Amino acid sequence: MSMFAFMGTLEIGFVYGLVAIGVYLTFRVLDFPDLTVDGSFTLGAAVAAAMIVTGFNPYLSTFCAALAGASAGMVTAWLNLRFNILHLLASILTMTALYTINLRVMGKPNVALIMEPTVLSPFEALGLSSMYLKVIFVAVCALIIGGLVAFFLQTQYGLAMRATGANPRMAQANGIVTKEKIYAGLALSNGLVAIAGALFAQTNGFADSTMGIGTIVVGLAAVIVGESLFGSRNMWVIIFSCLIGSILYRLAVSMALSADFLGFTASDLNFITAALVAVALILPQLRREWKARQAAKEAQS
Amino acid sequence: MIRCENLQITFNPGLPTEKKALRGIDLEIPEGEFVTVIGSNGAGKSTLLNALAGDIGSTGGKIWFGEKDVTRLPATGRTRDVARVFQDPLAGTCGNMTIEENMALAYGRTERGNLSFALNSKLRDIFRTQLARLNLGLEDRLHSEMGLLSGGQRQSVSLLMSALQPSKILLLDEHTAALDPKTAALIMDISSQIIAEKQLTVLMVTHSMRQALDYGSRSLMLHEGKVVFDLQGEERAGYEVKDLLNLFAKARGDGEELDDDKLLLGS
């Protein structure tokens, strides 16, 4: 793998690390499988790109992208909490609606940002080559945001959010308004995913209406890879492992694509994704079964 | 302290599965009284507790805590007054969080929501002192995951958690039923200590006639959603388990033999 390809992998790994943190918040913390992210990733990219092209400040645009993502999450939460629509289905509805909304926001299927100012523009004066600058910028973003989320999950509010997902009845018996925590959690999660989308658009120079497809699988893959590698209960480690998981996943994908003897082409990406996630899910299960057999053998002898 | 006026609860009203769980309960429990609640399965004991805690909205009637009408208040709005321990040891705690995190959650029961660290050394000291009362060695395991503890240990911690913040009412829903006899005795012991110490108003649902008479100062018997017997004072002092069993049979009104083994065997 060339240096250029490696840096590109790292960059995407960090961007999707934010997605992984968002997915961790819904799937693991709130126990709310949320597929809205497929839509909110594109929404973040679309809002940021459309605003930048119109002439808004890239930072303001990214902030608005986060707000848009958060609102999308709130819509999913509202459908689920107010009308008792199954969480999975509620999120699929929002995701489907977002596809149209994204096209409307951009006004066309894709927006190019090649010559536009981005969040990276103020740092271009530093003289770093854009390859390194992008990686450093997204890495710093991901680490700062990850740190904030890890801190948040250890505050009183964050603890209440974790209890909401783990044991809602106990949470309520302890005075936690669980609905409010679910709204907040979905807003936060989709806000993060939208930021990831906005960063992706600005570092890659475009926003496209189909760029969000499969975001949930990638995010989930990163969470699972991270979990199976670290398996800690410490919040700092967990959030960090989401980022590492995302990077490792990206590395595995790009290695599979670049290994000539496998004969994969770029269009085989989705198969590789699915296969990698399946392996990440199967391995821990096999390990458990193997351990159980070992224990049974020992008990016999 | 607690006052119910014609409290009614109907599940699935208007449907073929309609169930009248409480059919008009009138009850007045003065502050500091420890009431035990007995009754056969489906009598409405747990429903009564859940209604008081706010888990279930009432279909009719009113509930007061002191001078406050709490009938329309949801469970989360009543936690300033009410603490509770569930029957299922897994229900009162979060298995995938540590002991100290669980206790911090309970500690925040009356005030919550700010963005400062949920745990600090001052809180850990409080938790350690409380856990030491159990004599289970849990005070050295603050960082252990709750899911690693046994059912009895988890129930003990739930009990401590219910008393971490001052509240006036404690609702115990068969909180020793799922435990082995030795642990159950320990839990009852600590419950009595906490109740006496904090002078709580208590409702304890139990399946054990022995417990119902041994603890507290008043016993209620529920049957088909009504209070059929309210035992207190001198009269209660003279009661034995077999008298209660007779009352039970009478309440059913059919002289039918008791087939609920749990009632007879409960120690």
Any domain includes B193: no
Any domain includes B234: no
A177 interfaces chain B, CB cutoff of 8 Å = yes
* Contact (CB, 8 A) for A187 and A73: yes
Kindly give the confidence (pLDDT) of every residue in chain A, 301 residues in length, as a single tens digit, with 9 standing for 90 and above.
788 889 999 999 999 999 999 999 999 999 999 999 999 999 999 999 999 999 999 999 999 999 999 999 999 999 999 999 999 999 999 999 999 999 999 999 999 998 889 998 888 888 888 889 999 999 999 999 999 999 999 999 999 999 999 999 899 888 889 999 999 999 999 999 999 999 999 999 999 999 998 899 889 889 988 888 887 788 999 999 999 999 998 898 888 888 777 788 878 887 888 888 888 888 878 888 898 898 888 887 7
Domains in chain A, CATH or no CATH each: 3-268 (1.10.3470)
What are the pLDDT digits (tens) for B63-74?
Answer: 999 888 888 888
The Cα A201–Cα A53 span in angstroms is 12
Contact residues on chain B for A174, CB-CB shorter than 8 A: 79, 105-106, 108-109, 161
pTM of the entire structure? 0.87
* Contact (CB, 8 A) for B65 and B78: yes
Instruction: At A96, list the tokens.
Output: 């489907």
Contact A174 B96 (CB under 8 A): no
What are the pLDDT digits (tens) for B186-210?
Answer: 889 889 988 988 888 999 998 888 8
pLDDT at residue B262 is higher than 70: no
Nearest to B58 by CA among B66, B50, B125: B50
B114: domain range? Answer: 95-166
B112 interfaces chain A, CB cutoff of 8 Å = yes
Nearest residue of A to residue B104 by CA position? Answer: A156
Nearest residue of A to residue B78 by CA position? Answer: A175
The Cα A187–Cα A67 span in angstroms is 8
For residue B67, the SS3 value is coil
pLDDT score recorded for residue B264: 53
The identity of residue B31, as a single letter, is E
Other Cβ atoms within 10 Å of B34 Cβ, number: 21
Contact B101 A159 (CB under 8 A): yes
The Cα B38–Cα B155 span in angstroms is 21
Domain count, chain B: 1
A156 interfaces chain B, CB cutoff of 8 Å = yes
Any domain includes B129: yes
Contact B118 A175 (CB under 8 A): no
What are the pLDDT digits (tens) for B104-145?
Answer: 998 887 776 678 888 888 889 999 998 988 888 888 988 888
Any domain includes B236: no
Q: What is the DSSP letter of B256?
A: P
Please, which residues have CB within 8 angstroms of residue A145's CB and are 6 or more apart in sequence? A18, A21, A192, A195
The Cα B153–Cα B133 span in angstroms is 12
The Cα A74–Cα A90 span in angstroms is 11
Contact A167 B117 (CB under 8 A): no
Q: Which residues of A160-196 are buried (b: 16+ CB within 10 A; e: fewer)?
A: bbbbbbbbbebbbbbbbbbbbbbbbbbbbbbbbbbbb
Any domain includes B99: yes
Q: Which residues of A221-249 are buried (b: 16+ CB within 10 A; e: fewer)?
A: bbbbbbbeebeeeebeebbbbbbbbbbbb
* Contact (CB, 8 A) for B102 and B93: yes
Any domain includes B174: no
Please, which residues have CB within 8 angstroms of residue A131's CB and are 6 or more apart in sequence? A4, A7, A8
Reported as a pLDDT band with limits 50, 70 and 90, residue B267 is very low
Any domain includes B253: no
Contact residues on chain A for B112, CB-CB shorter than 8 A: 156-157, 160, 175-176
Of A159, A162, A175, the CB nearest to B79: A175
CB contacts < 8 A, A to B, total 86
Q: What angle do CA A122, A128, A133 make, to 5 degrees?
A: 65
B108 interfaces chain A, CB cutoff of 8 Å = yes
Predicted complex ipTM: 0.83
Any domain includes B123: yes
Mean pLDDT, chain B, as a whole number?
Answer: 85
pLDDT at residue B256 is higher than 80: no
The Cα A284–Cα A272 span in angstroms is 19
User: Higher-confidence residue: B188 or B40?
Assistant: B188
pLDDT score recorded for residue B229: 84
pLDDT at residue B27 is higher than 70: yes
